[in-house]
Chain A
Amino acid sequence: MSDHKTMTLKLIVWRQKNANDPGKFETYTAKNITDHHSFLEMLDCVNEDLILEGREPIVFDHDCREGICGTCSQVINGLPHGGSERTTVCQLHMRLFKDGDTIYIEPWRARAFPILKDLVCDRSALDKIIQSGGYTSCHTGGVSDGNAILIPKPVADESMDAAECIGCGACVAGCPNGAAMLFTSAKVSQLALLPQGKGEAKARVLAMTNTMTDCGFGNCSNHYECQAACPKGIDVKFIARMNREFIKAQI
Chain B
Amino acid sequence: MILDGKCPTGPIEQTWDKYRFDLKLVNPANKRKYNVIVVGTGLAGAAAAASLGELGYNVQAFCYQDSPRRAHSIAAQGGINAAKNYPNDGDSIYRLFYDTIKGGDYRAREADVWRLAQVSNNIIDQCVAQGVPFARDYAGYLDNRSFGGAQVSRTFFARGQTGQQLLLGAYSALSRQIHLGSVKMYNRREMLDLVVVDGVTRGITVRNLVSGEMESYAADAVCLCTGGYVNVFYLSTNAMGCSVTAIWKAAKKGAFFANPCYTQIHPTCIPQAGDYQSKLTLMSESLRNDGRCWVPKKQNETRLPGQIPEEDRDYYLERKYPSYGNLAPRDIASRAAKEQCDDARGVGPGGRGVYLDFADSINRLSEDTIRERYGNLFEMYEKITADNGYKTPMRIYPAPHYSMGGLWVDYNLMSNVPGLFVLGEANFSVHGANRLGASALMQGLADGYFVIPSTIAGYLATIKPGAVKTDHAEFKKSAADTNAELNKLLNINGKRTVTDFTRELGTLMWNNCGMARNEEGLKEALKKIPAIREEFWQNVKVTGTGAEFNQQLENAGRTADFLEFAELMCRDSLHRNESCGGHFRTEHQTSDGEAMRDDVNYCYSAAWEFKGVDKEPELHKEPLKFEHVHLAVRSYK
Contacts and interface: CB of A to CB of B under 8 A. Distances in A.
A196 B172 contact: no
A227 interface: no
A70 B69 contact: yes
A76 interface: no
Given A71-B65, A91-B383, A152-B139, A130 B277 contact: no
Contacts of B129: 136, 138, 143-144, 196
Interface residues of B, number: 87
A247 interface: no
Interface residues on A, range: 35 or more
B179 A95 contact: no
Nearest to A58: B551
Given A67-B380, A117-B549, A167 B543 contact: no
A147 B497 contact: no
A111 interface: no
A124 B187 contact: yes
Contacts of B21: none
Interface stretch (A7-15, A39-47, A235-243): A39-47
Nearest to A166: B164
Nearest to A151: B140
A237 to B, nearest CB: 16
B297 interface: no
A202 interface: no
Interface stretch (B10-18, B245-253, B267-275, B315-323): B267-275
A54 B495 CA distance: 10
Interface in B62-101: 65-72, 74-75, 84, 86
B305 interface: no
Contact of B158 (A138, A149, A163): A163
Interface in A156-196: 156-157, 159-160, 163-164, 166-167, 190-191, 194, 196
Nearest to B53: A140
B142 A54 contact: no
Given A62-B240, A196-B130, A69 B65 contact: yes
B543 A57 contact: yes
B72 A134 contact: no
A91 B497 contact: no
B216 to A, nearest CB: 22
Nearest to A197: B131
Q: Which of A52, A127, A159 gathers the greatest number of chain B CB atoms within 10 Å?
A: A127
Nearest to A88: B383
Interface stretch (B119-127, B530-538, B626-634): B119-127
Nearest to A44: B278
B133 A163 contact: yes
B175 A156 contact: no
A95 B387 CA distance: 13
B125 A36 contact: no
Interface string B136-174: 111111100000000000000011010011001001110
Contacts of B324: none
A22 interface: no
Interface string A183-215: 000000011001011000000000000000000
Interface in A129-146: 130-141, 143-146
Contact of A140 (B54, B277, B349): B54
A220 interface: no
A5 interface: no
Contacts of B142: 146-147
A196 B133 CA distance: 10
A143 B128 contact: yes
B492 interface: no
B65 A37 contact: no
B358 interface: no
A68 B76 CA distance: 9
Contact of B277 (A41, A127, A136, A160): A41
Interface in B226-259: 237, 239-241
B418 to A, nearest CB: 25
A135 B172 CA distance: 5
A251 interface: no
A30 to B, nearest CB: 11
A163 B130 contact: no
A143 B132 CA distance: 14
Contacts of B239: 63-65, 69
B275 A194 contact: no
A74 interface: no
A103 interface: no
21 contacts: A36-B274, A54-B543, A56-B543, A63-B240, A64-B239, A68-B164, A93-B383, A116-B210, A117-B549, A134-B172, A138-B129, A140-B54, A141-B126, A143-B125, A143-B128, A153-B138, A153-B140, A156-B133, A163-B165, A190-B133, A191-B131
Interface of B: 47, 50-51, 54, 65-72, 74-75, 84, 86, 122, 124-142, 158-159, 161, 164-165, 168, 171-173, 175-176, 178-179, 185, 187, 210, 237, 239-241, 272-279, 281-282, 349-350, 379-380, 383-384, 386, 449-450, 453, 495, 497, 499-500, 541, 543-544, 548-549, 551-552
Closest 8 A-B residue pairs measured CB to CB?
A150-B140, A135-B172, A143-B129, A160-B133, A138-B129, A159-B133, A146-B128, A140-B51
Given A1-B272, A141-B122, A151-B133, 9 more contacts: A38-B384, A65-B278, A71-B66, A93-B383, A124-B187, A149-B128, A152-B136, A152-B140, A155-B140
Interface of A: 1-2, 17-18, 34, 36-38, 40-41, 44-45, 48, 50-52, 54-57, 59, 61-71, 86-87, 91, 93, 95, 116-117, 120, 122-124, 126-127, 130-141, 143-147, 149-157, 159-160, 163-164, 166-167, 190-191, 194, 196-197
